[in-house]
Amino acid sequence: MSNNLIIVESPAKVKTISKFLGKSYTIDATMGHLIDMPKSSLGVDVENDYEPKYITIRGKGDLLSKLKKEAKKADKIYLATDPDREGEAISWHLQKELLKDANNEDKISRISFNEITKNAVKNALKNPREIDMDLVNAQQARRVMDRLVGYTISPLLWQKIKKGLSAGRVQSVALKMICDREAEIAAFVPEEYWSLDALFSVGKKELTASFYGKDKRIPLDKEETVASILKEIGKSKLTVVEKKQGERRKKAPLPFTTSTLQQEAAKLLSFPTQKTMRIAQSLYEGVQIKGRGVVGLITYLRTDSTRISDEAHRAVLEKIRAEYGEEYCQKKQAEEKKEGKIQDAHEAIRPSYLEITPFEAKDSLGKDEYKLYQLIYKRFVASRMESAVYETETIKLSAKDYIFTINGSRLRFEGFLAVYMSEEDKNEKNIALPPLKEGDSFAVKEWLKEQHFTQPPAHYTEASLVKALEEGGIGRPSTYAPTIGTLLLRRYVGKEKKNLFVTELGNAVNEMMSQNFPGIVDKEFTANLESLLDSVSVGETAWKTIVENFYPDLSSAVEKAKEEVEKVSIKDEETDVVCDKCGRKMVLKYGPHGKFLACPGFPDCKNTKPYVEYAGFLCPTCGAECVKKRSKKGRIFYSCSRYPDCDYMTWQKPKDAKSGEKKEGEIMAQK
């Protein structure tokens, strides 16, 4: 019996794929990258054609040795890392390491699959290929560029602003976008405008007609304009002068890409982008489903494509036909085309098994896993359904020479709305109008006039920032979540409800980057760079050419900034907690394990205390204040402040808990 070795990235995939293959296959995981540039140095030889230096990642030596031993025993080796640039690079590094011990190049093949199903895995094994060096070089180009930016500019930020800061190629652009939006909001001057509505009755039903103008719309910029119009109208009645009936069709949404999944999960589920990607990764790699074992529930989660396979298309139409009827099946599917993005080689994000409905999987999934799987499942089914059809009615009424309008709509055919509704769809209501005909006149019961002011641009949310980054061609969907996560972690931006806002530290970093490295934070430059990286992935551009055209200017700018930029002082955030050793108000500090309180008198006073936030409710066990904490994996939970004397804890904040005197988020010091 032959001995085949399949190497994937994660242990979860090992369990999932093991179900499909016999005893002649051994499956193991790399646990991500095994080889990378060193953390302790630049890792790029800028004097020798920008050659990257690669080493075994600390802590991965034993795992690499184990894989080498298994490879020696194998008759055939299949490198089955993720189907993207990073996955291709992992396979390339691994192949080079395996070839060091023996000349076994002929028995090493690369395979990839978009979904972890029996058919997909077996088809991949039937169609092995060589490592795609264009994809590898695209990854190397991105990695080297990011390393050069991060490792040359970050030390400057430490020197001029504060230790522990970082600059990044995409991160710095995202920060500038948030800063620019904050500046727009701060500089915004509201402008006055008015609305004018006419309230009248048709039988027992009251209707409101909105002012339009005459032949064209007349802006109501001030109260005097409204008063002049009302004076001219006087006691004239409203008369129906035109009635139009029509139809409005709303097309089904396309299936999810990485970006649209992040946006919709943020809007509908209030999931941060990092949480969405973490849960989607587990759904892709495999979860334990009752009666089925470990199953990969969704296709690959890093994709720019909205296409799906013919097989999946036929299957979902069959499901729609059986459950809703032929009239709900989409007759023609309009695909969104995006050129120049290598991730378009993949399918859209969809369920791997249509027969595993969210209802069936619910008992096997965590609450958040279920919510995201249901979102993906419903969106995919809806994407192959017919448009929703609304009957529309527009009525124009005149008073003197002025026109007022009423709009009505009624959902005639729900189409895809039977399965999936966006935030906008949920807010849309039927507005039924009573039967009116041209010539009907009505006395105005009341004129409703109201003053308004224009509103400033909205703060970015994670969802709107992801959308803006994608529209600007900045970064790639797989980078959005870690980019936003880094901005929050470094405290360049904060988060209030769903809104992102820039901090004093973020403003200082952005100002330094904008003044000294305008190319790095320029959206067009960054988008163009992404296009160049994509051209590497299809073999059109040599990756080192991009680097050698970029680095000299960066290096010169860094040297100039070292000489000219003055040191910026950023004060620590002061709290109300008093140092019990010297009486000063303690300040908030950030260490490797998160926030802590420290005395500002350091080094004379070295007192520190743990930082804890009140949760805003009392412990149901002992009545003490509960506090908000974070687990080792970063998940928020709530526990009693008297721990370990009281061991109460909960992952969810109780809705019916008796509120304490302290407000949520208020700082307390643990003794």
For residues 616 and 662, the answer to whether their CB atoms sit within 8 Å is yes
CA distance 246 to 228: 34
Q: What phi and psi values does residue 300 have, to the nearest 5 degrees?
A: -55, 135
Catalytic residue of the set 300, 373, 402, 460: 300
Contact between residue 244 and residue 394 where contact means Cβ atoms under 8 Å apart: yes
Active site residue 300: yes
Q: Tell me the CA distances in angstroms from 277 to 23, 260, 271, 280, one per residue in order.
A: 33, 12, 10, 5
Q: CB-hemisphere CA count at 13 Å for 618?
A: 9
- Report whether 618 contacts 660 (CB < 8 A): yes
> Can you read off the two tokens belonging to residue 262?
């992040």
Kind of pairing, strands 205-213 and 625-630? unpaired
Q: Exposure of 394 by Cβ count < 10 A (0-12 exposed, 13-18 middle, 19+ buried)?
A: middle
CA distances from 477 to 31, 47, 100, 174, 625 (A): 22, 33, 35, 13, 41
Alpha helices in 334-476 (DSSP H): 358-361, 367-383, 423-427, 462-471
- Comparing CA positions, the residue from 492, 501, 405 lying closest to residue 458 is 501
* Token pair listed for 516: 């000294």
Contact 624, 643 (CB under 8 A): no
Q: Which amino acid is at 37?
A: M
The partner residues of 453 in beta bridges, in order of sequence, read 192
Q: Are 462 and 498 in contact (CB under 8 A)?
A: yes
- The residues that are catalytic are 300
